[in-house]
A and B are shown apart, each in its own frame.
Chain A
């Protein structure tokens, strides 16, 4: 009888044998696979010799091809989902996963005929020909169909906007959208009913006597003298002589206000505001004015602040801003906020961390209150607010002078930016450098290539700069070098920009930097917001009910706006950990060799090992069947199966799902 240990060893040996056989098969077919994935090369001479511009029929063919490819991709994706769902059903997976998979299939079927970016690109190609007066019936027909679909999608979106705008009492937006819909669809019954609804809702909301201003001609005998006194600011005189009618009390309130007696003014206004006449309406309006009634303004801002703070504790800034709206977006924000991990971890983190919304209006109300009622009943509260609530410093001013700060919005740079190159990368790109570093530069980790106008360092000649950039680009293309945090395309674009600057006469300066960039601390941010954090070597992501962390040693952080180039190690690896609401902690390590991934982890179920082989990619069939072979080994036994999709979370071990 085999012991458990013997069984594990036997399985491990089988694993190695299987891998070897698979590797042999792949080696045999990999050449064909690579060839199969290459597009059919066109005759370069024919392409270069062709002088005529692209014709309408070529545009039509290109547009039809775009749509065909898009349809094919959608069909393939749907088929993959259906096959994977079949696999899940056959392998008796958990009902939860079956349900989620089924929902994905349903959504794909439901959205199958939705518009896509391919239709927009096809429209761009066809529109120019249609406007040029093309008489090709096929082209015109296709254009008309695509245009109709575009209009219908736009109108659907506008209908949603109208519904949201009416719910949020944004009459102008609702009216603008409806006018546009009716312009395109004059017979739309839904639009007509929404117009009627908008008019009705708006009339109900705005039917106040003052909507159409009117005046009363009724002038009392005492008004001439009293109003003269009010206009001349003889306030004591007005207060003494004002009758106790509604109008007289209002005049008295105004005089009290002007005389600096806000309490008396408020008492009078409170009394008049009960009346349903012109004086009552004015009094109610004046009571809304924070300068006249700072007490009510303070209470109002206090209520709003506390409500927004509560919403912010539950769902962060998103919920604070959207939580009270009646829209689809607000519903989604509420849905995300109700996730268990958010309620269990992020909400307490925000509460303990003292998260507060923008308190500017509450501070203003408190300041206004203290100006009018320095010794009022709420004066202490107002002072507490001013002392405790954070003051957002006003940006853009330095010692009384207006100075624009750097922009915070992220935008793609146009100008040449500095490039950090690690010593190892330099030696890979320029092998003749290896072993030639002088003794005093032995400790050097990286060099900085600075093409900026105010850069400093040793100036390289144009030829030297060009050669250096060329070798770095070559290293990136050959995969001997890798960019930190940027895609290969972005890195190449960055190099190209620097190269152009050099061609335009901007010198490239090199200087030696000892300090390595520091890793940005992001733990608290991810805890609080739930958003993924990526500091190049350290990644953290909060899922619906788990938290995942991965650390790839050897990858430093890259200073903002720079390109960082390092050598590509033959073997890359990372450590990871995951914890879910059941307090099931899993720690592990994984490594990648080419596209194959191997990992080991330790969790509640004991040690587990996993091997993932991207067979479809090696055999050149990934385009149709993105299949990976997936072998898991643990105390529970061995499982082998296909995985149909590439994992979505690079940096975390996809083949070892925590709790598996």
Chain B
């Protein structure tokens, strides 16, 4: 009936029907199955232990202080992803007797913990591997020693916010810098530098909280000066710009509330430096930070326009 309706020759109709069926089956074959469920799947399509360890090992030498290389799809941290997968494998193995595979998983976990800056946990896991007679024991014991030193620098006690004074912060910074020097040219140096950088950032916030934006400027300059090669350099520049902008706003408010005389020269100097800091940040490589810096410049121009209306 269809053939008659289409007015086709029998041979042509058969050819068309066969082609349509082939195409139909091909389309069905290429329909992707739904996104995998979060359950473990026992198939080769998911990454296995070799894939996890290979990728992890290739990133263990990354200089995480200077580069953001250890980033997977959609911006996820490679070490966190590896850690999560290894922990799930280990969880699934559960009560199975310990085998060499278990030790490999534990050792890889320890490496991932180390890179995730969870030093005391890494030391614990290294200790488990180090107490076995496997080929990994000696390396685990050595790494454990280093992790104990790092964990010691972090400290085990919970520090009360009130207990964090400038002296405490400076001690931490110096300790981490000393550790970075001790482990210079090794895979541990970037970790120590990252730790000292974070404490340096906290130092800036400490000054900002207690001495106001103007009082924090010198410490932020020091942060930028010391961590020029850090992957967070643009972030530090944006913070510096924020502090200068805040200082300018505070100067303006001082004039408006008549707490002091509005110093137009000082205000303009701070505004200019805020713009300069954001401009420097907008020239760095990371697209997200460049965009943030440009948005900050536009926002500060708008704020400055508002200040002009009340400047004198």
Contacts and interface: CB of A to CB of B under 8 A. Distances in A.
* A and B held together in a complex: yes
A501 B307 CA distance: 17
A289 to B, nearest CB: 7
Contacts of B54: 230, 250-251, 253-254, 282
Contacts of B104: 223-224, 227-228, 231
Contact of B55 (A213, A216, A286): A286
A213 B72 CA distance: 12
A277 B276 CA distance: 50
A281 B47 contact: yes
Nearest to A233: B57
B42 A216 contact: yes
A9 interface: no
Nearest to A250: B54
Contacts of A232: 135-136, 139
B49 interface: yes
A270 to B, nearest CB: 15
Contacts of A496: 312
Given A211-B35, A504-B261, A227 B58 contact: no
Nearest to B107: A231
B51 A396 contact: no
5 contacts: A209-B36, A209-B46, A216-B47, A276-B45, A414-B264
B53 interface: yes
Contacts of B261: 504
B48 A218 contact: yes
Interface of A: 207-220, 223-228, 230-233, 246-248, 250-251, 253-254, 257-258, 276-279, 281-282, 285-286, 289, 291-292, 360-361, 392, 395-397, 401-402, 404-409, 411-416, 452-453, 496-497, 500-501, 504
Interface residues of B, number: 75
B277 A216 contact: no
B85 to A, nearest CB: 5
A215 B100 contact: no
B15 interface: no
A257 to B, nearest CB: 6
Interface of B: 32, 35-55, 57-58, 61, 69, 72-74, 81, 84-85, 88-89, 92, 99-101, 103-104, 107-108, 111, 134-136, 139, 221, 224-225, 228, 261, 264-265, 267-268, 271-277, 279-280, 283, 285, 297, 301, 304-305, 307-308, 311-312
Question: Top 10 A-B pairs ranked by shortest CB distance?
Answer: A407-B275, A278-B47, A224-B100, A254-B54, A216-B48, A247-B50, A415-B264, A216-B46, A214-B46, A277-B44
A248 B50 CA distance: 8
B40 A214 contact: yes
A282 B82 CA distance: 12
Given A218-B42, A414-B268, A500 B47 contact: no
Given A231-B104, A404-B273, A407-B276, A279 B50 contact: yes
A227 B49 contact: yes
A227 B50 contact: yes
Contacts of B43: 216, 218
B11 to A, nearest CB: 38
A380 B198 CA distance: 41
B134 A228 contact: yes
Contacts of B221: 402
B150 to A, nearest CB: 19
A250 B50 contact: yes
Contacts of A219: 48-49, 101
Contact of A409 (B73, B139, B267, B301): B301
Given A224-B104, A231-B111, A278 B44 contact: yes
Contacts of A286: 55, 58
Contacts of B58: 254, 257-258, 286, 292
Contacts of A406: 272, 276
Given A207-B32, A402-B221, A453-B265, A231 B57 contact: yes
A408 B264 CA distance: 19
Contacts of B55: 254, 282, 285-286
Nearest to A222: B50
Nearest to B32: A207
Contacts of B297: 409
